[in-house]
Amino acid sequence: MELLADRVVAGGGVAEDTNEALGSCLALLMDELAHGVVVMGICGHLLYANEAARRELARHRVLTLRGDTVHAAGEDNAWLLKDALSKASDGRRSLLTLSAEAGPALTLAVVPLKAEGPSLSPRAALVFARASVCESLMLRFFARAHGLTPTEEQVLGILCNGPSAPEIASQMGVAVSTIRSHVRSLCAKTRSSGVRELVNRVAVLPPVAPPIWHEPMH
């Protein structure tokens, strides 16, 4: 799918060919995000979905695509999405969580998009929550930037999921004292005051998608 820019304004306006180039660049950028992003009409007509969103839609888990219309699985989810889109048509934002029969729920923000002309119908953006606090590519960037060892990177990745030092030690098959030593080293190298600050820093890293998303889908 391609992002179609209705109009791009910069310094009073830009040439049409620049509009097209900018639209293509924006579409490529959106595909690099770990957050799924969907742009749709208030009636559910799909206008754009980035790579992360297309993968979620293809799972037919919580949201699915029928023809060119986005649908929510289950009556409760369908009502929540319909209500959020109705609020978006009035310029109001919503935050909702759609449940799944199997697997985790999907939390998303529904954001109204301002129409740039009277001929354009109201639109909304669905911005999906990230699948996990600690995406692999973001963690790798963070580890390299702070000179972490592979083992420290592994410990940090597990820490982001919430287990205690004894639980991590059991999972990795090492002594608890070894894990605590790694944690002290992690905090020193990243100049973090403790585990909470360290995990919070990872949680707010730029949401870059892992490279595997750019491989062909089968």
When pLDDT is cut at 50, 70 and 90, the band that residue 117 belongs to is low
Distance CA 100, CA 103 (A): 6
23 pLDDT above the threshold of 80? no
pLDDT per position as a tens digit, 164-213: 999 999 999 999 999 999 999 999 999 999 999 999 898 888 777 665 54
Distance CA 120, CA 122 (A): 7
What is the pLDDT at residue 16?
55
126 pLDDT above the threshold of 50? yes
Averaged pLDDT, 86-109: 91
22 pLDDT above the threshold of 70? yes
What is the pLDDT at residue 11?
43
Find out whether 134 and 202 touch, Cβ atoms under 8 Å.
Answer: yes
Averaged pLDDT, 45-61: 91
pTM of the entire predicted model? 0.69
What is the pLDDT at residue 178?
96
3 pLDDT above the threshold of 50? no
